[in-house]
């Protein structure tokens, strides 16, 4: 059961203490308190865990300071959708809204290789009105001998260039607790010219200790990639690890599944799960067409597979796109074969615009005709 307090009633208030002392006297009920800080207000949510079947909704609702009460029916307690659950499906970070109802594009470098590449990328993004990007500094690689990113050595120039070109959010994978500290330090040293979305890669989806650490901090939102070899349910439970530690600013990323059935693509595309994740949870859903397809292949229609697959995700209601670009893919240190070129940024964005408009038309069609 979730008891949601009226806006700005917090754990120091009389209302909260009265409710707390009531709950403490209940048998076999544990209480966890979450603060959800929005742009205009702070919401306090009290999660009651244990034998809550015996609790009366009306009784809990009758306490002063209580806004509403939700009986949890599904397993994803914090991020899931439950009956009569009106908790939001969006959050704002550094001025950018992330929601199940909108779409943000994160085109950028799979891995930061040089200041020149970062600058070329960010300049092109600004020219195309983009305020988000992806920039990998810490790269988990299959081979221990491959380039693993410039790590903290590139953070300062990445953040400074982001500030220079008006980039508000950079998605950046972290594979260790120390990376979060390094990002924090570099942001502080550069005067916080931009924001960072911490990315948990598919190899770490079930790295529960990392999830707990990233879930405990509430400064940065988190993009959790689905595990490439586990069920959707297992990956959604992993997202719940983040939220249960306090961070509800979570985006769920689909990036293809590892199976030879996906050949000749790098992974089999799983974007059919976009509506499923949106139905089961309140998380905005990201798609990563680059790591799904893994190449610049195109067919007789001249459309790159990456663009076809992006369109498939957008037409199904994706809320975020993470896509690899590089000023010179042949010289990229990581994943050059799947990177789009700068002259492909305009057609990419235009294609997304067309398909997003079609998705909105579909929404109107089905919502107007629903009885
Ligand atoms: C990435 O986005 O750079 C990446 C490594 O993705 P994934 O974890 O999905 O392989
Ligand atoms: Mn990559």
Instruction: Calculate how far, in angstroms, residue 258's C-alpha sits from the geometric centre of ligand 2.
Output: 14
Which residues form the pocket of ligand 1, taking CB atoms under 6 Å from any ligand atom? 110, 136, 173, 201-202, 225, 255, 288, 291
Which 3 state secondary structure label does DSSP give 360?
helix
CB 254 within 8 A of CB 226: yes
CA–CA dist 266, 205 (Å, integer): 19
- Pairing relation of β-strands 320-324 and 104-108? parallel
**Which element (helix H / strand E) includes 223?**
strand 222-225
Ligand found nearest the CA of 134: 1
Cα gap 133→109, rounded to integer Å = 8
The helix (run of H) or strand (run of E) holding residue 34 is strand 29-37
Contact 348, 107 (CB under 8 A): yes
Q: What DSSP character marks residue 35?
A: E
Q: Which ligand 1 atom lies nearest to the CA of residue 202?
A: 8
Task: Give the integer Cα–Cα distance in Å for 307 and 105.
Answer: 13
* Ligand 2: centre distance to CA 291 (Å): 6
Pocket test for ligand 1, best of 106, 143, 199, 326 (most atoms within 8 A of CB): 199
Q: In what order do the strands lie in the sheet with 250-254?
A: 104-108, 320-324, 285-287, 250-254, 222-225, 195-200, 169-173, 132-134
Residue 279 CA, distance from chain mean position: 16
Q: How far is the CA of 201 from the centre of ligand 1 (A)?
A: 5
- CA-nearest residue for atom 3, ligand 1, is 110
Nearest CA to ligand 1 atom 9: 202
Report the distance separating Cα 87 and Cα 78, nearest Å: 10
List the pLDDT tens digit at each of the 371 positions of the chain: 999 999 988 888 999 999 999 999 988 898 989 888 877 888 899 999 888 888 888 999 999 999 999 988 667 989 999 888 888 999 999 999 999 999 999 999 999 999 999 999 999 999 999 999 999 999 999 999 999 999 999 999 999 999 999 999 999 999 999 999 999 999 999 999 999 999 999 999 999 999 999 999 999 999 999 999 999 999 999 999 999 999 999 999 999 999 999 899 999 999 999 999 999 999 999 999 999 999 999 999 999 999 999 999 999 999 999 999 999 999 999 999 999 999 999 999 999 999 999 999 999 999 986 54
The Cα 196–Cα 80 span in angstroms is 25
Beta bridge partners of 268: 257
Residue pair 197/169 in contact by the 8 Å Cβ criterion: yes
CA–CA distance, 259 with 194 (Å, rounded to integer): 37
Kindly state the tokens that stand for 349.
């964005």
| Ligand 2 mean position, distance from CA 26 (Å) | 50
Ligand 2 centroid – CA 110 distance (Å): 5
Q: How many CB atoms lie within 10 A of CB 278?
A: 21
């Amino acid at each position: 059961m979730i008891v949601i307090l009226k806006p700005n009633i917090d754990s120091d208030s009389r209302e909260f203490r009265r409710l707390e002392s009531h709950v403490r006297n209940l048998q076999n009920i544990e209480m966890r308190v979450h603060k959800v800080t929005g742009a205009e207000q702070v919401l306090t949510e009290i999660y009651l865990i244990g034998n809550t079947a015996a609790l009366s909704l009306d009784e809990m609702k009758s306490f002063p300071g209580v806004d509403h009460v939700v009986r949890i029916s599904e397993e994803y307690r914090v991020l899931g959708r439950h009956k009569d659950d009106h908790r939001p499906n969006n959050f704002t970070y550094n001025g950018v809204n992330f929601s199940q109802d909108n779409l943000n594009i994160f085109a950028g470098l799979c891995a930061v290789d040089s200041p020149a590449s970062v600058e070329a990328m960010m300049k092109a993004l600004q020219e195309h009105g983009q305020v988000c990007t992806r920039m990998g500094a810490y790269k988990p690689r299959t081979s221990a001998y491959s380039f693993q990113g410039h790590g903290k050595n590139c953070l300062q120039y990445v953040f400074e260039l982001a500030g220079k070109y008006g980039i508000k959010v950079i998605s950046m994978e972290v594979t260790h607790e120390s990376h979060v500290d390094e990002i924090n330090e570099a942001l502080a040293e550069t005067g916080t010219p931009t924001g960072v979305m911490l990315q948990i890669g598919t190899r770490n989806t079930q790295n529960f200790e990392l999830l707990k650490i990233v879930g405990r901090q509430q400064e940065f939102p988190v993009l959790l990639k689905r595990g490439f070899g586990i069920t959707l349910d297992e990956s959604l439970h992993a997202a719940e690890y983040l939220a249960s530690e306090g961070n509800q600013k979570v985006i769920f990323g689909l990036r293809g599944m590892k199976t030879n059935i996906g050949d000749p693509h790098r992974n089999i595309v799983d974007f059919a799960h976009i509506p499923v994740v949106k139905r089961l949870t309140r998380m905005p859903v990201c798609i990563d067409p680059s790591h799904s397809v893994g190449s610049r292949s195109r067919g007789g229609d001249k459309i790159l597979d990456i663009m076809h697959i992006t369109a498939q995700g957008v037409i199904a209601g994706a809320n975020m796109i993470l896509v690899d670009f590089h000023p010179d893919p042949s010289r990229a240190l990581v994943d050059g074969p799947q990177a789009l070129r700068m002259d492909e940024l305009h057609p990419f964005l235009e294609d997304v615009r067309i398909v997003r408009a079609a998705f909105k038309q579909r929404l109107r069609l089905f919502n107007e005709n629903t009885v």
